[in-house]
Amino acid sequence: MKKLLSMIIALSLSIGLSVPALADDVTVELNASDSSVEVGDEVRVRANVDNAEGDITYDWYVDADSSEYEVTGGGDYYDNYIELEFYEEGSYTISVDAEDEDYNHDEDDYITDSDSITISVGDNEYDDEEVISTVRIISPSSGRTVAVNSSVYLDFEVTPDDAYWEEVEWSSSDENILEVDDYGRVTGVSSGTATVTVRVLNIESRWRSASMTFTVGSGTSTSSSTSTASTNTTSGGAQKGDLPTTDLIAKMDEAVLNNSGSAVFQDYTSVSASSLIQAYSRVSTSGNNTILYFDTMNGDMVEGRLTINPLKAASLTADVNLGVFANESATQSVSDLFKKHYSNNLVVAKSAQSGNYGMYVSIAVRTGDLGDVSTIKLYSYNADTNIFQEVQNSNVWLDGNGYIHFDTYLGDYLVLSEGALIS
């Protein structure tokens, strides 16, 4: 029998059959997609194993605090790679133990090899003020109640307020109770409690999020909107005339009690200079500045929004007309006129204010696609005199609901053009 076994082994070797590798022949080597990256970049580290005979398992280690990185892919027991995103500058060591269960040994006898690689993470190219650090959902009411089959509208703000984002996602923790669309419109479905979350992707490809919990019942909705996308309303766009000072101050006081920082008014024609000066006096002495939103409604959607910071109204001498329109009937003739004489892609909004507002205000309107907002120039056009002029320091930006925002001290027709007007 021993002689027969020796002959079989000799025959196997002579015809070139494979022989199991020895333990010290099993090797693992790590390779990175890039050994030098910036904060927010993703790096992929792969383990290459040679001379393995059995199933390979991997134990991955990252020499860093869990707050300094995130595993974005792989990294599990049978994954031969790991994908990482680092949040802080520095040098980080990634290690792996690769284990091969050699089929010539007992099940508990493993062949193991290890390797490590160092990744250098540097500062990113973005300024701190361009990168979102926090997100907050905006809703002025503290009630957080939505009636079944009714809707309220949410918006969000980021810190710093001039930071850029690339993508926005709204979601509900339970869509059988509360639905939310892509623009922050929240609708009650059935009685219960659910949480709405907004996730914002910043320019470092990192998500920032905020949440707000709502109770859905059979009563009326108590969370009115500060959204530039739309606001719950029953006005249907009917103009209400001048805004009474008592109503202005009452809404500001309510905003302070609710800690919302804003007060929303719908379809008022104008607000007096004396009312706004009283608002200025109130916030300058209390230290609780309340931003004033004046919405022009079109059905249940905001057609235009005029925003006033009372702290800018200290020296106001004239009343302010509040209407802001972007519908075709209000803007078509001026839009056609400019498109006839200029080749730029442009859109037109109509302000009810004639001439100077007496201060800088902010306006938001839903418009057509204007491409890269960083190239947009803003012009004010007076149809009576047929004269237009560029508005400086307009700070144009686009929000997650498709509304374009800009600052202006001039009213009349407001022309937003991709680049300087070219004949």
Picking from 227, 218, 158, the residue whose alpha carbon sits closest to that of residue 186 is 227
Residue 369, pLDDT > 80, answer: no
> pLDDT of 142-160, one tens digit each?
457 788 887 777 888 877 7
Instruction: Read off the pLDDT band of 321 (50, 70, 90).
Output: very high
For residues 124-148, give the mean pLDDT. 65
> pLDDT of 263-275, one tens digit each?
899 999 999 999 9
Q: How far does Cα 280 stand from its chain's mean position?
A: 31
Instruction: Read off the pLDDT band of 239 (50, 70, 90).
Output: low
Phi, psi for residue 254 in degrees, rounded to 5: -65, -40
pLDDT number for residue 220: 43
For residues 43-65, give the mean pLDDT. 83
Q: Are strands 27-32 and 165-172 parallel, antiparallel or unpaired?
A: unpaired
Whole-angstrom distance, CA of residue 345 vs CA of residue 368 = 10
Name the CATH code of domain 128-217 (choices 3.10.20.30, 3.40.50.1010, 2.60.40.1080, 1.10.1740.10).
2.60.40.1080
Domain residue spans of the chain: 21-122, 128-217, 245-418
149: tokens are: 């089959």
For residues 23-27, give the mean pLDDT. 52
Residue 162, pLDDT > 90, answer: no
Residue 7, pLDDT > 60, answer: no
Beta bridge mates, 112: 99
Q: Are strands 178-180 and 324-325 parallel, antiparallel or unpaired?
A: unpaired
For residues 183-191, give the mean pLDDT. 85
3-state class (DSSP) for residue 10:
helix
What is the DSSP code (8-state) at residue 73?
A: E
Q: Which residues does 158 contact at the CB level (< 8 Å), separation at least 6?
A: 132, 133, 134, 135, 136, 165, 200, 208
98 and 114 Cβ atoms separated by less than 8 Å: yes
Least confidently predicted of 107-111, 112-116, 193-197: 107-111
Task: Please tell me which residue, 61 or 13, carries the higher pLDDT value.
Answer: 61
pLDDT number for residue 214: 84
Domains 128-217 and 245-418 alike in fold: no
DSSP codes joined into one string, 116-153: EEEEEEE--SS-GGGS--EEEEE---S--EEEBT-EEE
Provide the mean pLDDT of the chain: 79
3-state helix, strand, coil in the chain (%, to 5): 15, 45, 40
- Over pLDDT 70: what percentage of the chain? 78
pLDDT number for residue 215: 85
Q: Which residues does 323 contact at the CB level (< 8 Å), separation at least 6?
A: 239, 269, 296, 304, 306, 350, 351, 352
Name the CATH code of domain 245-418 (choices 3.40.50, 3.90.120, 2.10.109, 2.60.220).
2.60.220
Task: Please tell me which residue, 126 or 18, carries the higher pLDDT value.
Answer: 126
pLDDT number for residue 205: 64
pLDDT number for residue 114: 85
pLDDT number for residue 230: 32
pLDDT number for residue 30: 75
DSSP codes joined into one string, 383-415: TTTTEEEEPSS---EE-TTSEEEEEEEE-SEEE
pLDDT number for residue 232: 30
pTM: 0.48
pLDDT number for residue 379: 95
For residues 16-24, give the mean pLDDT. 38
User: How far from 46 is each of 23, 32, 72, 269, CA to CA, in Å?
Assistant: 22, 6, 14, 65
DSSP H helix total and E strand total for the chain: 4, 30
3-state class (DSSP) for residue 296:
strand
Task: Please tell me which residue, 391 or 283, carries the higher pLDDT value.
Answer: 391
pLDDT number for residue 208: 80
Least confidently predicted of 4-13, 192-201, 210-219, 408-417: 4-13
Whole-angstrom distance, CA of residue 39 vs CA of residue 84 = 11
Name the CATH code of domain 21-122 (choices 2.60.40.680, 3.30.2310.20, 3.40.50.720, 3.30.428.10).
2.60.40.680
DSSP codes joined into one string, 297-357: EETTEEEEEEEE-GGG-TT--S-EE--EE-SHHHHHHHHHHHHHH--S-EEEEEES--SEE
